[in-house]
Structure 1
Amino acid sequence: MPQNKKPKYVAILIVMMTLGASWAIRGRFGHEYGAAWAGSIGILALLLASNRKDWLQNWLPIAAAGAVGWGMTGMISYGAVVGYGKSGDLLNTSYGLLSLFVIGGLFGFLGGGFTGLMLESGNKKKPEWAPLLTQMVAGGIVFWGFLIYQLEWFMTPPRSELWAACLGAAFAMGWYMLRHRFKNAWYVAMLTMLGAGFGFAFGNFMQATGINAGIAINWWNVMEYSIGSFGGLGLAYGVYSRSWPEMPRCSAASMKWSALLLFVLIPLWTITNAFEWGKITRWAERSGVDMVDQYATGVYVQMGIVSFLALIGLFVLARKTFHQRATRRLVFMATLVTCFWYQALKLITSGLFGYYTVSMEELTVLNLLAVAILIYAQNLEISPFEWPVADGEFNTLLRRTGLVVIVVILILSVIASGVIDDMPGSNYRFGGE
């Protein structure tokens, strides 16, 4: 019998809370770069909670691969789909929640799949990244062209239909995993897909019913936390329930390129988009701030100071990784610095030292502090690899979980359509008003 199961559940909780909080912070920045950052933070929590030395010494490439997987689906437009869940009409609500299950599932499948492929890279077998990425690009083009331009299967008209390209990429990745027998990666991708898909649909349900009930909180943030936490649940359970090969140390070049992606390129994309001059001046004008130009300059100064300090700390930690085996403490500090860097950027975009007011969004700070305490206070001597789930059991688990998720989403659709009145932001795909 497996021993010491309790720490495994603590580890899963850590990943859920971390990915949920980072996804909620990501909502301020959005798009591919925001999703890439949130995904990488969730994966760092996964590595910390695993306490595996071979994974910790390769924390940069693993986090970078996961960032690519979670980030690429950020191209999908889902604003219109969220509106279907607010319609109060059963057909449109069901369509909206099921569509969000597909979109969230794509986030999870690609994010979980890239992470699983990295973790399954051993001395005997490694994924061939160039052929895999080529096949994913080809699959994305074929699916997008066929579903959108031939079948005209529009999910989010009149917005972008790039969900079809992500679906094609996911099919190509899944077929690659099955052909080359990356079973662990396949199971992780599937469970993360179910978790993130359900989380997105459930989050939309909570958002629509909460707004309809007149509860004045940021329900969009609640929806983001939901997809992150349930996606983290699927990712963590999938990883901690499989036996993994010993992962060899990645090359110094891959470490450096991964550090460049995580600590320079993704933050640079985030900053240049979130702190675009026009956005800042519009925030200030809407809030009645005098001397808009001076205020915007102050925002840039704040952003520059915070980013400079964070980069110094991160590069010191990354440099240590190149010259010695990364420790759990080192990865923990890097994760902590990165989380609070982005939280600080979020506060600055909210008008810190200008027109900022405390809101429930800052609960993410308490969430991250709780995660930090859990990781730091407990030496998580977990051995998730001593509690593996056999292939047959895992296949049964996937089938049953998938069925339960679909049934629950349909039940939520019935409940939502019965209690929701037509509200601002609602959208109709069928019939319509």
Structure 2
Amino acid sequence: MKDKQLYFSMLVVALSLGTAWAIRGQFGHEHGAAWAGGIGCLSLIMVAKRGDWYSKVFSATLAGALGWGIGGIMSYGIVVGYGRASDFINTYYGLMMLFVIGGLYGYIGGGLFGLSLSSTAKNPVKWVNLTIEMVVGGILFYYFMIYEFEWFMTPPRSEMWAVCFGMAVALTWFMIRHQQTSAIRVAVFSGLGGGFGFALGNFFQVLGGVSGIKFNFWNVMEYTLGFFGGLGMAYGTLTSKWETSEPQQKKANQFFPILMLSLIIPFTVWQQNFDTKRIYATLIEIGIIDGSPLLAATEWSGLVLVLILAAFSFYQYYNHRPASVTYTYKEIQTFFVVYLGIYIVFSYIITGAFFSTYRIEQYLYTINLIAIMLLIGKTKPTFSNRNIDGNKWAVNMVWVALFIAVLAFIAKSSHDELKGAHKRFGEEVVEETAK
């Protein structure tokens, strides 16, 4: 019974982060990943149903959002192309490097989220020290790995994965020094899930393209990264031991997290994506007449939603609160629905899904939201305390690498040369039309 509840709870978080990460595919970069990561962390706090976590829901969600968002600096477009190659070496390399990239997304996101859950008044996390160490780690590893050793993953694109790798190493050393065992577990399983999901998603994308089915299989790849990343983050959290946090937090400590989650991150998503040229091209493509008032309305509607979200969040969760605050499950649930709901609406707006059904995957987001809300209240997880087993983890990593090798073999055997394929080793593909 306990295992069933564990798996059920993991599924709900996986659906939440998977849906949000698929939406993130429309926006990309750090801001899109941060919004999606925050949604995943929110769902996990709701699933856990620990009252002592409700008072720090915004700070924990922001920590996870920033962690998942950091990975947005990494470039992986050409790496996806390696996975579409027609030979085993390049295909396997592509899938394994996506495993690394997805793993870095999840590891840093899960690690920072886990540290936030671990932080208490008695044993607070030294966030300033951690930030400095991660920045220095990112700079040092980038310098040595890229400039000195020239370990290029995706030439000629950006090699910012090395920065994230350095940050992950610094984060690991910080958690080990401070004996943050639970946070380490969340980081490892989030990273494992995110990495496996990204590699598996590229495999699905290749087979989907070969099948000729008209569907956005790139979005499938984004979904699987979030889905399996959510599975891992939930498993790591629910199978770890956590100190009891304070039932209330200072009101002043809520201001910055609420500001970031409800205004800064959504505003950045709007500012970076809702530009006139992109909106115009999308609406003209689906048949909106040039000069229609819908063009301006579509561009500025996103900003209106951001302002509504910020006003609602500060009014409901900050302004009328006493000096020491906590939140109820119902209040957190309301914020979750609004937060994910507006992200879905953003996706509808930017793709023109309100006016055309040419992007059918968009409507699956709403179906997922309905499913999540029907399921999330039924979760009743029981926390367990499972230790870190380095030997077992190492063996499992070997099995994962072997399984990805099987996926690579199947993928490369399913086609000749594909459009968008690239080669890291050997002669680059010249012909880009499917044979």
Task: Give the TM-score band, short-chain normalised.
Answer: over 0.9
Question: Unpaired runs of 5+ in structure 2?
Answer: 430-435
Question: Unpaired runs of 5+ in structure 1?
Answer: none
The answer to which of 259-268 and 179-188 deviates more is 179-188
The match for 1:50 among 12, 25, 48 is 48
Cα shift at 1:272: 0.4
Alpha-carbon distance change, 321 to 73 in structure 1, aligned in 2, over 3 angstroms: farther
The match for 1:411 among 392, 402, 406 is 406
Return the alpha-carbon distance in structure 1 between the equivalents of residues 60 and 160 of structure 2.
Answer: 26
Residue 219 of structure 2: aligned partner: 221
Structure 1 segment 266-285 matched on structure 2, within 5 A = 266-285=265-284
Cα shift at 1:288: 4.9
Contact 1:218 1:361 in 2 (8 A): no
* CA displacement, residues 176-197 of structure 1 (integer Å, 9 cap, x when unaligned): 1111111111111111111100
Contact 1:34 1:270 in 2 (8 A): yes
Contact 1:119 1:244 in 2 (8 A): yes
Q: Is 1:343 aligned with 2:344?
A: yes
The answer to which of 288-297 and 217-226 deviates more is 288-297
* CA displacement, residues 281-330 of structure 1 (integer Å, 9 cap, x when unaligned): 23234445322473321213433444444444333332279434201111
Residue 389 of structure 1: aligned partner: 386
Return the alpha-carbon distance in structure 1 between the equivalents of residues 291 and 76 of structure 2.
Answer: 32
Contact 1:84 1:428 in 2 (8 A): yes
Residue 127 of structure 1: aligned partner: 125
Q: Is 1:145 aligned with 2:169?
A: no
Residue 290 of structure 1: aligned partner: 289
The answer to which of 318-327 and 212-221 deviates more is 318-327
Q: Is 1:208 aligned with 2:206?
A: yes
Contact 1:207 1:220 in 2 (8 A): yes
Return the alpha-carbon distance in structure 1 between the equivalents of residues 34 and 100 of structure 2.
Answer: 19
Return the alpha-carbon distance in structure 2 between the equivalents of residues 6 and 285 of structure 1.
Answer: 49
Residue 422 of structure 1: aligned partner: 417
Contact 2:238 2:381 in 1 (8 A): no
Return the alpha-carbon distance in structure 2 between the equivalents of residues 69 and 90 of structure 1.
Answer: 33
Contact 1:314 1:337 in 2 (8 A): no
Alpha-carbon distance change, 288 to 358 in structure 1, aligned in 2, over 3 angstroms: closer
Residue 89 of structure 1: aligned partner: 87
Alpha-carbon distance change, 381 to 413 in structure 1, aligned in 2, over 3 angstroms: closer
Alpha-carbon distance change, 303 to 77 in structure 1, aligned in 2, over 3 angstroms: same
* CA displacement, residues 344-378 of structure 1 (integer Å, 9 cap, x when unaligned): 111111125545545123211111110111123x2
Return the alpha-carbon distance in structure 2 between the equivalents of residues 18 and 125 of structure 1.
Answer: 30
Residue 74 of structure 2: aligned partner: 76
Contact 2:42 2:61 in 1 (8 A): yes
Return the alpha-carbon distance in structure 1 between the equivalents of residues 306 and 358 of structure 2.
Answer: 22
Residue 265 of structure 1: aligned partner: 264
Cα shift at 1:400: 3.3
Runs (4 or more) in structure 1 with deviation over 6 Å come to none
* CA displacement, residues 137-172 of structure 1 (integer Å, 9 cap, x when unaligned): 111111111111111111111111111111001101
Secondary structure at 2:423 match in 1:
coil
Which one-letter code corresponds to 1:415 in the other structure? Answer: I
The answer to which of 141-150 and 311-320 deviates more is 311-320
Cα shift at 1:199: 0.5
Alpha-carbon distance change, 292 to 427 in structure 1, aligned in 2, over 3 angstroms: farther
Q: Is 1:104 aligned with 2:102?
A: yes
Residue 331 of structure 1: aligned partner: 332
Cα shift at 1:74: 0.3
Return the alpha-carbon distance in structure 2 between the equivalents of residues 290 and 153 of structure 1.
Answer: 50
Contact 1:39 1:67 in 2 (8 A): yes
Contact 2:267 2:303 in 1 (8 A): no
Contact 1:36 1:71 in 2 (8 A): yes
Contact 2:205 2:221 in 1 (8 A): yes
Return the alpha-carbon distance in structure 2 between the equivalents of residues 237 and 351 of structure 1.
Answer: 36
The match for 2:63 among 47, 62, 65 is 65
Residue 183 of structure 2: aligned partner: 185
Contact 2:18 2:222 in 1 (8 A): yes
The answer to which of 341-350 and 304-313 deviates more is 304-313
Contact 1:32 1:75 in 2 (8 A): yes
Q: Is 1:163 aligned with 2:161?
A: yes
Cα shift at 1:247: 1.5
| Matched residues, number | 425
Cα shift at 1:123: 3.8
Which one-letter code corresponds to 1:56 in the other structure? Answer: Y
Structure 1 segment 12-23 matched on structure 2, within 5 A = 12-23=10-21
Q: Is 1:25 aligned with 2:20?
A: no
